[in-house]
Amino acid sequence: MRVDAVTLFPGMIDAPLSDSIVGRARAEGYLELGFVNPRDFTEDRHRTVDDKPYGGGTGMVMMAEPVYRALKKVRKKNSFVILLTPKGRKFDQAAALELAGKKHLIFICGHYEGIDERVTPLADLELSIGDYVLTGGEPAAVAVIDAVTRLIPGVLKKSDATVNETFTGGLLEAPHYTRPGVWRGKKVPEALLSGNHKLIAEWRAAQAGELTGRARPDLAKEKAAKKPARAAKRTAQ
Ligand code: ADE
């Protein structure tokens, strides 16, 4: 997959995506990550990219033209353009799966108070990573690119690593344990030591249901609403 970021601060995205799994995905060619800086598309002596907001107010607003030109430089026919903004659709695992199916993603990262509103129609999707305000779209781009990259086939070496995980089935994942079997007096649950795959799967399903109901009742409710009628009847008995 090819990903480009339109950003005034490429280092804010490049550095955190250089280590670990995503760093390896880049080195192995699963993810090609490029940057284009609106500042390189200015024509004045000061390479101005922002200005005061019309109508007054604090902070600066990124000007439309340098962003437009930067986007034009990298946009192709099959590009899917995402504008990161707290006003966008809330990012979740379903959105990550959708984006993982695209050939080319372009992230437009606002900074300061945001970008001139007239840039918005250039994007296919406005995306938010949560109900809080970041210093810019860059940390949001990092989160989205990370979540999408691990879904690219081949990036995670165990092919089923993304099948049973948290959110994919609409539930939180059952807890994990590793050696030692007893740590500071705390034992690993018996079922996990049994070697019985059916028992382990049942234990994990029960844990996932219990944990989701306790920690994220909103997800549990959503999952119950999506159950086919027959299954819902069975649980009601
Ligand atoms: N830019 C600033 N805050 C943001 C957020 N929560 N999500 C996406 N982009 C942002």
Query: Where residue 45 sits, what CATH number does that domain have?
Result: 3.40.1280.10
Same-domain check for residues 189 and 137: no
In this predicted structure, what is the pLDDT of residue 232?
A: 47
Residues sharing a CB contact under 8 Å with residue 228, sequence separation 6 or more, in sequence order:
none
Residue 154 domain flag: no
Ligand 1: centre distance to CA 6 (Å) = 15
Residue 104 domain flag: yes
In the predicted structure, residue 7 carries a pLDDT above the cut 90? yes
In the predicted structure, residue 230 carries a pLDDT above the cut 90? no
Ligand 1: centre distance to CA 132 (Å) = 7
Tokens of 4: 């480009």
The pTM score is 0.92
Domain count, the chain: 2
In this predicted structure, what is the pLDDT of residue 236?
A: 42
In this predicted structure, what is the pLDDT of residue 234?
A: 46
Tokens of 14: 């490049």
Residue 49: which of 124, 109, 97 has the closest Cα? 109
In this structure, the residues whose C-beta lies within 6 A of any atom of ligand 1 are 84-86, 128-130, 132-134, 136-137, 140
Per-residue pLDDT reduced to its tens digit, 65-117: 999 999 999 999 999 999 999 999 999 999 999 999 999 999 999 998 999 99
In the predicted structure, residue 180 carries a pLDDT above the cut 70? yes
Q: What residue numbers bound the domain in which 96 lies?
A: 2-149
In this predicted structure, what is the pLDDT of residue 164?
A: 61
Last residue of a domain, one of 126, 149, 172: 149
Per-residue pLDDT reduced to its tens digit, 10-31: 999 999 999 999 999 999 999 9
In the predicted structure, residue 162 carries a pLDDT above the cut 80? no
- Residue 104's alpha-carbon distances to 74, 147, 156, in angstroms, are 10, 15, 20
In this predicted structure, what is the pLDDT of residue 165?
A: 77
Same-domain check for residues 199 and 145: no
Ligand 1: centre distance to CA 127 (Å) = 8
Task: Identify which has the larger pLDDT, 161 or 232.
Answer: 161
Same-domain check for residues 59 and 141: yes
Same-domain check for residues 19 and 93: yes
In this prediction, residue 159 has a pLDDT band, given cuts at 50, 70 and 90, of: low
